[in-house]
Amino acid sequence: MKRLINEFINYLSVERGLALNTLESYGRDLRQYSQYLQQDDEASLDQATRATIADYLLFLQKQGKATATIARRLAALKAFYQFLVREKYLEKDPTAHLESPKLEKRLPRVLSIKEVELLLAQPNPSTPAGQRDRAMLELLYATGIRVSELVGLNLADVKPDLGYIRCMGKGSKERIVPLGSMAVKSIREYVGPGRNRLLRDRDEQALFVNHHGHRLTRQGFWKIVKKYADDAKIAKEITPHTLRHSFATHLLENGADLRSVQEMLGHADISTTQIYTHITKGRLKEIYARSHPRA
């Protein structure tokens, strides 16, 4: 099974061009399924039935896994088994006609404009690390790009003189996103002496580097953000998409049209972007309830 999983992951990488994070997620989910099968002497990859898959999903539920996690595991299994049938490794797909559990649509947490300003004020601009951190936070809030896109930026992807960045999104889709004046200012301050003092290798292409001079990771970035959130005494939980959600919500609250926000976020389907309209409607109701004398 290990060989087949590796072959499947290679197919997703070469034929479908999926991002590294997605490939790692598929591999992790399938290895955990493999471990589950190994615990059952009567179950194996070629003997697995629809009942086997259903039992596995029930096992995940009893473990306390979130509905979204179970849905993702099933999606990985469906894709894997479809690949095995197509490549003639199996005759039947045991996941066929199995429905994914319905997901509850949760409204994303967002920061208020005051909280964003407080967070952005935390880095110390007199140090190279502080200049880098300020530039990262300003850039993330100015563009709404994903954290993986942020840490994946190269120096050549940022055009402060022209006021935009070029980033590679999901499915290796490239998009151009405009930059605000504050983001441009902070990037210029960092790219000069700040980044040079952090570098160890002058040939390093990454825009944002860690104290070893190498490309900053997602984990490294979020440790930085959580530290500043604590310093700013922001009580709300910070997630990997908090500034992205805040970017979209604040744009819509201030009159941006949905299609433009969809383009900047890199959403393939506008229904994904529409969740932010629920947030802004909720805010309007709060304002109405507080402000209208007969609310």
Which positions are annotated as active-site residues?
146, 170, 241, 244, 267, 276
> Residue 144 is encoded by which pair of tokens?
């709404």
Spatial separation of the C-alpha atoms in residues 148 and 221, rounded to whole Å:
10
Element (H, E) at 249: helix 242-253
Cβ(9)–Cβ(27) under 8 Å? yes
Q: Cβ(249)–Cβ(280) under 8 Å?
A: yes
Strand order, beta sheet including 158-159: 158-159, 164-168, 174-178
User: 125-134 burial, b for 16+ CB within 10 Å, e for fewer?
Assistant: eeebbbbbbb
Dmax over CA atoms of the chain, in Å, equals: 70
